[in-house]
Every structure is written in structure tokens, then in C-alpha cells.
Structure 1
């Protein structure tokens, strides 16, 4: 079994990915390099078709890069997924409607229990309570709001206490008030469980509120156009939205997005 190496967190070097039949392939990711340190929250934002989700799925092991290197805590993606070091939260909560909230979060623990025997498993009840879902343990997904369902999906990703958390627009289906509540809930939990987070979003305020850095991607083909630091102090509360610093950052990110959307090619 591979052991962890110095590259803690996520390490992406010179990754390219194409789709389509031979002779008519479309380049989706073009020599992308990025690192996310342990305890760092990084959002990836950009126009539709810039490869944000493809990059995340490459780190998750759902897609294999054509070339380049991806490491998670110094391990190959294959080794990291085998060792349950990656927690994935998709756009849809993907909860089983016939299982209770508690049983949905327990589900990953019941798959191949022999292989899980020596893993560092977290108590599902404790995780759910930390997400404010202690009163919903015995409820079914259909009895929960969309925001609560997404919180259950996030809680499920923490069962194996992963080193890296990958989140693909998890709040995109929620209205703005619910999104705000879920962002703040995620921040509270993350600030006490500092994982390396890669968070794909289309929302500029969301990226600023959550992140240490924002990766702005351009399209045709997908590439990193700019990486913007977010020096806002932590812990963050809803009051940060009203600060001059937040508004300045929002202006800068939006201007960068306008620039990349005006580009015809890399």
C-alpha cells in the first residue's frame, strides 16, 4: 500500500483531458496545475464548459486524465480512493428515500465492512448533530427540506474522516436564503475540521465567503486564468458581506470573469 508523501492535500500538475472520438476529440482541460494545502478551502469558478467539474472528477478518480499528475496526500488517486481519503459531495444529495437520515449516513460504513475494519470511522450520530440534524436522525429524506438533504449528503462525506473534501456545486438547487444558511453551516463545521476543500461553484459571493483562494478558469480549452487570494479574516459571519473588503473582492472576481468570458481561446 502507498504511504503519504510530502504533497499533503491536493496536488495537480500539468493535467490535460480530452473527450470525443479519435480524430475529433475536444480538449476540455489544458495543462492545468494547482495545489490545495491541508486546511485550505479553494473554490473553482468560471463560465460553463470551462472544465470545473471535469477537474474535480479527475481528482475524485471518476475520470482519468490523459496526461499529467494528480496526488492526494502524496498518493495516487487510485490509492487515495481505496483508502477512503476523498469525500465527495455531488450537486444532488443522492440520498436513498427508503433509508432514514442516520441510515443514509451509515451507508458507506456498511459497504465492504471487512475492508473498513481498521479505518478511522467517525460516529454518524455525532456528525449529524454537529450539522444541526440531531432531531432528524429517524426522518426520511422526503420529510426534509432541500437544504437539510444537502447537509445530510455533506455529513455522509465525513464518515471516513477524509483528508480531502470535493464539492461540486452542492448548494446550486437552493434559493439564496437557504444557500446562505448552508454556506454558514458548512463554514462552521469546516473551521473545526480543517480539511483540504475543492469547491466548484458559479456564485461569486459564495466563493468569496467560503474560500482562502479562488481559482478562476477560462474555457475553450479549460485553463486556470487567475488565482485570487481571499484575505478576509476567519471565522466569518454573515456580516462580512457588508464590508468594503468583500465588495472589492467581488468586483475583482467579476472583472476577471468578464475578461475570461471575452477570450476566444487560451
Structure 2
């Protein structure tokens, strides 16, 4: 399936620094990136390169010092108001006193006016799709870490946002669980194409999920290279064993090693 066209995410010359005046550290320096509607883009790079900061600026959680971000042609503020942004943080951030179903339905009860012209997803059906059909009445404390993260992803999809921003959602899981979760996400996304910015430290994860991989450089954070992932879709776990996958993995790892070496010069 070809990548859908549309405005998606437009990041233009974004810069961000932290710290007191006179001793500020530049975390992002003139970053520009476009993610088309229906395109899955992963952002990867050495620690301190600003991956999560870029995602937080895009989500409107922090303001850029310079530059602009638009979501589906709107400012981040307007896109947030119109519920066009779905966010999956590193921690599931489920409310412990609400059941899994109630947690997933929560976005439907917030800013109901923004739901009036959109197709809302059935929370029960969504949970079943993510393998949580038998866990709807349970509380977050009764779930494994992987199940909690799947519930958080379902919550982000339930109001059918145009853009999905995901900040290392599987980083706390062991490798076996991580692979199960990424394949579940891939299966769902391939049938429900959204524009996705996905921050990760995992090279195989970035390749398996993405249309493009953005490799960032550190000190200051900037885009060093963008690598196209030409593996055919839909993808399955069989892709891991192909020569094309291994070749791409070598390309991405070489790009990362170059940036890590430059960061320590």
C-alpha cells in the first residue's frame, strides 16, 4: 500500500535549549521534518540527541524556542483542541482506579465537542484487537507491563486521531514481549494507517515498523540522515530473516555508530 498523501506533521527549523541564560544547552538545532498522512517514521539516535524533546515539541507538551510545527495543517494548539494528536508515552500512565475499559474510554469523555465530526472506535472492539478482550474489567495493577502498554496504545487510538506520537512505548519490556507488542502494533497500524512519529533505540524495531528512519546527531540534536525502508508491506515477522532486512540493519547501525563516534570526539 502506498503512503497516503496529506499535510501530516510539518516541523520547520525547530530549535530548543534548556538551562539558565548564559549556560543554556541546545538540545534541538534547526530540525525540519515532514511526515505524510499514513506514513510511519521512526526517530533514532544516540542518547542526548533530542529524540524525546522533538516528540514533546510536536505534541505541544513543551514549546520550541524557534521554528514551527503544524499538525494536519493546524497549529499544535488547534490540533490538540481538535483531538488530532494521539500520544503514547514511555510509561502507560493508566489510572489505577479505573478498569482497562474505563481507561481506554476516557478520551471519549474528554472534550466531547471535538468528537462530533469523527468516527470513534469501539473501545471493546479495539481492546479485543490488541488481545485484551478478557482483561477489560481488570485494573492496571492486575496486568503485565506489556498488557498495560497495549491498553495505553488502544486508548490513544480510540478517538481516531490523525497523528500518532509514540515515545519508546516498548522500552521497559523484555525483548520477547517487545517483539510481540511491536508486531501487534504493526498489524493494527497496517489496517488503520495513521501518520506516526515513533521514537526508539531499537534498530530492528525501527526497520520493521517504518517507511523512513530519521537518524539524529547529538550535541546539538539535529537530523544527520534519513534512511528509506523499502521492505514491502504488509510486513510480518518473516521479514526479519530476509537479506534486505539485514542489509538495512547494517546501514542503520553504521549511521548510528558514526553519530555516536562524532558525539564523543
After superposition, the C-alpha distances for 1:206-228 in whole angstroms (9 at most, x for unaligned) are 00010000000000000000000
Change in 2 beyond 3 A, CA 1:114/1:9: closer
Partner Cα separation in structure 2 for residue 149 and residue 36 of structure 1: 28
TM-score (norm 1): 0.94
Would the aligned equivalents of 1:61 and 1:78 in 2 still touch at CA under 8 Å? Answer: yes
TM-score (norm 2): 0.95
Match for residue 247 of structure 1? Answer: 246
Q: Secondary structure at 1:194's aligned position in 2?
A: coil
Instruction: Say whether residues 1:27 and 2:26 are aligned partners.
Output: yes
Q: Secondary structure at 1:80's aligned position in 2?
A: helix
Partner Cα separation in structure 1 for residue 103 and residue 217 of structure 2: 37
1:116-265 aligned at under 5 Å gives the runs: 116-117=115-116, 119-264=118-263
Unaligned runs of 5+ in 1: 1-5
Partner Cα separation in structure 1 for residue 79 and residue 56 of structure 2: 14
Provide the alpha-carbon RMSD of the alignment.
Answer: 1.6
Instruction: Say whether residues 1:104 and 2:103 are aligned partners.
Output: yes
Unaligned runs of 5+ in 2: none
Cα deviation for residue 122 of structure 1 reads 2.0
Would the aligned equivalents of 2:41 and 2:214 in 1 still touch at CA under 8 Å? Answer: yes
Partner Cα separation in structure 1 for residue 13 and residue 161 of structure 2: 25
Which has the higher mean CA deviation after the structures are superposed, 118-127 or 64-73?
118-127
Partner Cα separation in structure 2 for residue 196 and residue 133 of structure 1: 24
After superposition, the C-alpha distances for 1:129-188 in whole angstroms (9 at most, x for unaligned) are 221211111111122111111000000001210000000000000000101100110001
Cα deviation for residue 73 of structure 1 reads 0.4
Which has the higher mean CA deviation after the structures are superposed, 242-251 or 104-113?
104-113
Would the aligned equivalents of 1:220 and 1:265 in 2 still touch at CA under 8 Å? Answer: no
Cα deviation for residue 50 of structure 1 reads 0.2
Would the aligned equivalents of 1:43 and 1:198 in 2 still touch at CA under 8 Å? Answer: yes
Would the aligned equivalents of 2:118 and 2:160 in 1 still touch at CA under 8 Å? Answer: no
